[in-house]
Amino acid sequence: MRVQAVRMTPEVQQRLLKSRIEAQTLTERDILCPVCGYRIQRVYSDATGHLSVKCQKCKSINILNLAYFRRIRGKVSR
Ligand SMILES: [Zn+2]
């Protein structure tokens, strides 16, 4: 019997792999807390819609429309 640290179905693994490959062609951008400027989340350039985020630093919870909070990074840091 094989011991797996993380239980993932092959289907989920496949989706994760596909997502990672697709993301290589996209630009990353940081979503910053509108209150304190702390980095809350990192999304990719094709991300749209609304995001409910909680800041780890100032604990404020905000709903962000990604269209209004665009902060494109010049480079992809990886
Ligand atoms: Zn904050």
CA of 51 to the centre of ligand 1 (A): 15
Place of tokens 């840091």: 77
Ligand 1: centre distance to CA 33 (Å): 5
Angstrom distance (rounded) from CA 76 to CA 78:
6
Domain that holds residue 45: 27-73
End-to-end CA distance of the chain: 36
Query: Mind listing the pLDDT tens digit for each residue in 4-14?
Result: 567 889 999 99
**Residue 4, in any domain of the structure:** no
pLDDT of residue 7: 84
Classify residue 14: in a domain, yes or no: no
Four-residue CA torsion sign, 7, 11, 16, 20: positive
Q: Is 63 part of a structural domain of the chain?
A: yes
> Total domain count for the chain?
1
Does the residue 6 lie in any domain?
no
Under 8 Å between Cβ of 45 and 59: no
Cα 37 to ligand 1 centroid, rounded to whole Å: 6
**32 C-alpha to center of ligand 1: Å?**
8
Q: pLDDT tens for residues 16-72? A: 999 999 999 999 989 999 999 999 999 999 999 999 999 999 999 999 999 887 655
